[in-house]
Amino acid sequence: MRKILLFLCLALSSTIFAQLPRDLLNTIKKDYTFEDYSGNIYMTSGYKDANVIHEKSTTFDAKLRYNIHTDALEYDSGSQLYELVKKPTIHARIDGDYFYYCTFESQRGVDRSGYYILVELSNGYSIYKRLTLKIREPRNGVGVGAPIESGAVRSSTTYYLEEAGVIMELPMSKKDMLAVFNDKENELKEYLKKEKIRLRKEEDLVRLVARYNALKSSGSASSQSLLSNRVDRN
């Protein structure tokens, strides 16, 4: 992953951008399933300027948007709809967010492949976030002649700690977070209070993990892994 990011930085700073080639795209059909639902199955309402980085080729410019429902980066040529080929060697930067197609596993060995957005890259670990949809199906109202309640979609963000291709979901409550990092519970409890950490604030979440990493690195434990002896819930 570190080599990938180095390649990305070099590519963005030195490459003359080319048009997105057809062999990086798969043809898809527009999905009208949620057209009458409130909410949006896309991360953004429209297409955004993007850079597509192919590790074995070059950097291309395009306008993309992320479809949360299909977990796809979509490209519209005007006459045809495409999605970016889902491979770990193809990445995209959209409006400041770095999308990676990752073949991660949970701590139980369950496949967790998909698009992840890089939040923090550190020595030995990374933090990613992943978007999913919460779907409420349409339903009839109560009583005779009651109107039908329309369906709705809402995006949800989950944060993950990653080491060597293995990920663990990061809780959003202080109680659960301290339970996950229980070997440094007292130190982190003090840190949370002193720094007024709010875990739902992305930058505070990053700071807490960095603090835990620092505590582990300075300790005498035989394993410095942040995921050691921890089992995820999935």
- Reported as a single tens digit per residue, the pLDDT across 49-78 is 999 999 888 899 999 999 999 999 999 998
Higher per-residue pLDDT: 138 or 222:
138
Which residue, among 169, 151, 164, 28, has the nearest Cα to 85 in the 3D structure? Answer: 28
User: How many degrees, rounded to 5, is the angle at CA 156 between CA 102 and CA 136?
Assistant: 120
Residue 10 scores a pLDDT above 70: no
Q: What is the mean pLDDT of the chain?
A: 88
Q: Is the pLDDT of residue 1 over 80?
A: no
User: Is the predicted pLDDT of residue 18 greater than 60, yes or no?
Assistant: no
CA 199 to chain CA mean position, Å: 16
Query: How large is the angle between the packed helices 202-218 and 185-195, nearest 10 degrees?
Result: 140
What is the pLDDT confidence band of residue 14, given thresholds at 50, 70 and 90? very low
96-119 average pLDDT score: 96
Is residue 75 a contact partner of residue 34, using CB atoms and an 8 Å limit?
A: no
Tokens 């429902």 correspond to 69
> In this predicted model, what pLDDT tens digit does every residue of 155-195 receive, in sequence order?
999 999 999 999 999 999 999 999 999 999 999 999 999 99
pLDDT higher than 70, residue 143: no
Q: Which tokens sit at 94?
A: 């959209």
| Alpha-carbon span 28 to 44, nearest angstrom | 19
Q: Which two tokens stand for residue 111?
A: 């496949």
What is the predicted pLDDT for the residue at 3? 44
Give the pLDDT of residue 79: 87
Task: Give the pLDDT band (50/70/90) at residue 144.
Answer: low
Q: Given pLDDT bands bounded at 50, 70 and 90, which one contains residue 221?
A: low
The mean per-residue pLDDT over the stretch 104-126 comes to: 95
State the pLDDT at residue 229. Answer: 55
Asked whether 160 and 167 are in contact (CB, 8 A), the reply is: yes
